[in-house]
Amino acid sequence: DTAVSQTPKYLVTQMGNDKSIKCEQNLGHDTMYWYKQDSKKFLKIMFSYNNKELIINETVPNRFSPKSPDKAHLNLHINSLELGDSAVYFCASSQAASDTQYFGPGTRLTVL
Amino acid sequence: GENVEQHPSTLSVQEGDSAVIKCTYSDSASNYFPWYKQELGKRPQLIIDIRSNVGEKKDQRIAVTLNKTAKHFSLHITETQPEDSAVYFCAATDTGGGNKLTFGTGTQLKVEL
């Protein structure tokens, strides 16, 4: 069984387009996250939700908007994609903020 | 906010040797310090973690030590094997930032035959 899943795995798109990435966890965790990993492998948190409520919102452009329809799902919508948005985006979940985080397989976004 | 520094950025060892990766953190209230391993093209996966009430933790060939006074913690891998080759990330909780994890910049470990 896949604990944290993301779709799509790869996303290639043109500048200016709008795209979404979906994440689901079946671990029963209360907290979910979005991370961005750039070409240098730096892992940077973008957002965190606890039981559908936004609790962490790092300095991320307004073009990025997370949505959590329920505590098992956290989606990421990106408007007006730019070249600099190219990266691998990881979803993760944990039972609580200071507990083990389980990562999804990642979505490699390439903006042309 | 929390600042986590990780060294070295790359580490090359011979199979069977030990490898040590070190991290320092700035938030004296941090209480959770996980280590993640990320193989090429894969997701980060937890390999070991330690909480602030413990100084050392061991799991087979890997161990983590924590020095709260000096605000540093280290990952030790003994009897390294080629499958240990990966990027390793340390992390620490940022208690002023919703208890989020702040990650180090990663160490590319290469175990050579």
The model's pLDDT over B12-62, given as tens digits with 9 standing for 90+, comes to 999 999 999 999 999 998 999 999 999 999 999 999 999 988 899 999 999
* Binding-face residues of A in 18-47 toward B, CB within 8 A: 33, 40-45
Task: Write the DSSP symbol of residue A14.
Answer: -
- At A84 the three-state DSSP class reads helix
Q: Which chain A residue has its CA at the smallest distance from B38's CA?
A: A41
Give CA–CA dist A67/A22, Å, rounded. Answer: 10
Of B77, B101, B84, B88, residue with least CA distance to B37: B88
Contact A98 B38 (CB under 8 A): no
- pLDDT attached to residue B41: 93
When the pLDDT of each residue in chain B is averaged and rounded to a whole number, the result is: 94
Per-residue pLDDT at B95 exceeds 90: no
Contact B93 A98 (CB under 8 A): yes
Per-residue pLDDT at A106 exceeds 90: yes
A53-63: average pLDDT:
87
Residues of chain A found within 8 Å of residue B45, distances taken between Cβ atoms: 103
Task: Write the DSSP symbol of residue B29.
Answer: T
Contact A103 B43 (CB under 8 A): yes
- pLDDT attached to residue A96: 82
Residue B73 touches chain A, beta carbons under 8 Å: no
Contact B100 A56 (CB under 8 A): yes
Name the percent of chain B lying above pLDDT 90.
Answer: 85
pLDDT bin (cut points 50, 70, 90) of residue B97 is: low
Both structure tokens of B102: 């702040």
Per-residue pLDDT at A98 exceeds 80: no
Contacts from A66-72 at CB under 8 Å and sequence distance 24+? Answer: A66/A34, A68/A32, A71/A29, A71/A30, A71/A32, A72/A24, A72/A25, A72/A26
A61-80: average pLDDT:
94
pLDDT bin (cut points 50, 70, 90) of residue B96 is: confident
Residues of chain A found within 8 Å of residue B46, distances taken between Cβ atoms: 100-102
- pLDDT attached to residue A75: 96
